[in-house]
Amino acid sequence: MTAYLRLTVLTAVLLLQACATNTVSQRYPSPEVKRAPPSPSVERVPPRTAPMPSTPSTPASPSEPARVSDSPAVIALLDRAETQHQGHDVDAAAVSLERALRIEPRNPLLWQRMANLRLEQGQWDQAVQMAARSNSYAGRYSGLRARNWQIIATARRAQGDVQGAADAELKARQLE
């Protein structure tokens, strides 16, 4: 019974996916598919000579970016990197990620993905550095930063830096 149910759900999911793909191909070349260029993400910095001090009034800020990217090209490259990764071609995955980074050099998720790859390859130092680079672009995304600190902790432990790993883990916990 459960197996049957699972099968039904699976079929439904597959059908839905199929439909989704269909919709995409049917949309071309109708004009409404033209995506507006993704607006560059603007972080508000107070202008230096503004008449009044203003603090950005941010309600509870999200801990993760809403989307991986607004760029279909970046998403396509991430997908490709994922496929290459699953095919155990980590070098190729890194090349695809680097290509994505050329398009969005300030996307903290791309840097984090790169850090994960380096971690897997045992390039501990570059894993730490890429995670730090991700942090520098992560702004207020605390969940994202927590994961970077986890990467740093793992890499440091592998390097034999027990104290450094513990510090990084503490930072990760504080952000979670």
Binding residues for another protein (CB under 8 A) = 24-25, 27-29, 33-38, 40, 42-43, 45-53, 55, 57, 70-73, 75-77, 91-92, 94-96, 98-99, 101-103, 105-106, 114, 126, 129-130, 132-133, 135-137, 139-140
Q: Shortest approach of another protein to residue 56 CB, angstroms?
A: 10
Q: Minimum distance between the CB of residue 2 and another protein, rounded to whole angstroms?
A: 39
* Beta carbon of residue 139, minimum distance to another protein (angstroms, whole number): 7
Q: Where do we find the tokens 């991986």?
A: 68
| Shorter beta-carbon distance to another protein: residue 133 or 147 | 133
Q: Nearer Cβ to another protein, position 6 or 67?
A: 67
**How far apart are CB 163 and another protein at their closest, in Å?**
19
Residue whose CB is less far from another protein, 9 or 61: 61
